[in-house]
Amino acid sequence: MRQKRAMLLGFSFVELLITLGLILGMALLTYPFYVNYVRHMYFAEIIEASVPFKTAVADCYNSTKTFKGCDAGKKPIPQNIMKAQGHVASLVVKDGVITIRPVADKGVLCGDDLVFTPSYLNKAIVWIASGEAVKKSYAP
């Protein structure tokens, strides 16, 4: 009687292995999605850092009607970022083109640059993203 009651309590070893196998399988399936999500959030912060520079380049274009000469340090565009700030290792603006180099972290490499090129279409400035970050689908 006692032996039968002990068998009814708890999990058997096989049930425990099946449960652990299911948990491990789900973890292995979701890990790549998690890594991709982390990299996207990393680049979301980098893109956010470019917003003041995009606005300043747009102001420069509106006053000069050309992107040529819209460089960092010239009014109204802020200075280039040459020392790491947050996730941005460097940010350079030359003729309206914004090149951002990320700090290597969370699987993102220092060479995974993000480049925003301005274009004037239909009375609006459109930013075209390119670079290694776009090729690797870290950024839009």
Go through 15-40 and write b for each residue having 16 or more CB atoms within 10 A of its CB, e for each that does not.
eeeeeeeeeeeeeeeeeeeeeeeebe
CB 25 within 8 A of CB 17: no
Please, which residues have CB within 8 angstroms of residue 48's CB and are 6 or more apart in sequence?
none
Give the predicted TM-score (pTM) of the model: 0.80
For residue 113, how far is the Cα from the chain centroid?
A: 10
Query: Along the 140 residues of the chain, how does pLDDT read in single tens digits?
Result: 556 655 566 778 898 899 999 999 999 999 999 988 998 899 999 999 999 999 999 999 999 999 999 999 988 899 999 999 989 999 999 999 999 999 998 888 888 999 999 999 988 999 999 999 999 888 87
Structurally, what CATH architecture does the domain formed by 2-135 represent? 2-Layer Sandwich (3.30)
Q: Domain extents for the chain?
A: 2-135
